[in-house]
């Protein structure tokens, strides 16, 4: 069975000057961090061997968090994004049957981000965008980002909304429990809330053909759909959308499996949003390719449905 994995990270040493300091403060055992960094910085030897060993045909590459969103100076962010996208496009061109890519955008300057999005897709051949949650505390439902959504819609490409390693703010409920801040819960809570801001903020009413991709089984939003709908009748009339919240989760959101190797969760996500909107992802190198592929191959689906999740949806949505 052909396998396409769609949230697979890489990095470029020195591309973002703030990156090394942020990496040093990551609350992860040093030996694990060093193995991650070794694999992030590699695009051929280690990565292709891992793909071959586990039957992964294609990785859709994206720049690892912390990304350009941590850069304060807009001009510096523009330069970094261009460098990263050029590097990624060359890597894809060198291995066109094994790699595709998501662009990074300098959203500190929305006008420049629109220009870079157009260049990345139309000139470099990248398949969409991955962004790490917030733009120095700003969220993508805000008015200054509407031209970016217009260009995403025009180009017909998706934005993968990924968690950020640096939070926009600190939640008191996490005090004393650092395990809650990151991937075990905090990232899901904040990224899922950002996606809901896009919905409730009317982004998809204004741009009905725009879409976002959410990892980690849709940051758990597929399992909250009934609750979102049941409480929607309390929303004041002047803030109502054209549809119930679940409509947008079924029509403007794609879900990937990254980091959630649970058949119960996969069954629930597919039941909630449909088999045509769920895509396989590993979250390499932060998760085990062997475990993720074993989870996929043993999923309780007929071959045709499994093939859609494994590769068909990615090929259709990303134009692979």
Catalytic residues: 283
Q: ∠136-138-144 over CA atoms, to 5°?
A: 120
Q: Are the C-beta atoms of 74 and 174 separated by less than 8 Å?
A: no
Per DSSP, the residues of 43-58 read SSHHHHHHHHHHT--E
Q: ∠134-135-136 over CA atoms, to 5°?
A: 100
Number of alpha carbons in the 13 Å side-chain half-sphere of residue 97: 3
Token pair for 158: 């998706």
CA distance 62 to 181: 23
Among residues 226, 229, 228, 158, the alpha carbon closest in space to that of 193 is found at: 228
């Amino acid at each position: 069975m052909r396998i396409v994995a769609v949230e697979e990270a890489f990095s470029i040493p020195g591309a973002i000057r703030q990156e090394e300091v942020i990496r040093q403060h990551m609350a992860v055992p040093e030996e694990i961090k060093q193995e991650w960094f070794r694999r992030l910085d590699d695009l051929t030897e280690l990565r292709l061997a891992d793909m071959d060993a586990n039957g992964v045909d294609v990785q859709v590459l994206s720049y690892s968090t912390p990304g350009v969103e941590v850069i304060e100076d807009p001009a510096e962010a523009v330069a970094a994004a261009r460098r990263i996208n050029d590097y990624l496009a060359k890597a894809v061109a060198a291995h066109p049957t094994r790699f595709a890519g998501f662009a990074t955008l300098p959203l500190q300057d929305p006008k420049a981000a629109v220009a870079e999005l157009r260049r990345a897709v139309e000139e470099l051949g990248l398949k969409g965008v991955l962004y790490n949650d917030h733009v120095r505390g700003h969220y993508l439902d805000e008015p200054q980002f509407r031209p970016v959504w217009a260009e995403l819609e025009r180009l017909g490409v998706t934005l993968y909304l990924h968690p950020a390693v640096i939070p926009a703010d600190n939640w008191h409920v996490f005090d004393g429990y650092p395990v809650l801040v990151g991937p075990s819960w905090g990232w899901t809570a904040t990224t899922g809330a950002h996606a809901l801001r896009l919905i409730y903020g009317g982004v998809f009413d204004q741009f009905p053909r725009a879409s976002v991709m959410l990892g980690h089984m849709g940051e758990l939003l597929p399992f909250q759909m009934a609750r979102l709908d049941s409480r929607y009748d309390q929303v004041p009339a002047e803030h109502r959308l054209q549809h119930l919240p679940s409509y947008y989760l079924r029509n403007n959101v794609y879900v990937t499996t990254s980091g959630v190797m649970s058949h119960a969760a996969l069954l629930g996500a597919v039941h909630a949003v449909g088999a045509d909107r769920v895509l396989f992802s590993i979250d390499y190198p932060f998760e085990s390719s062997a475990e993720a592929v074993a989870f996929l191959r043993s999923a309780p689906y007929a071959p045709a449905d499994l093939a859609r999740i494994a590769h068909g949806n990615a090929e259709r949505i990303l134009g692979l």
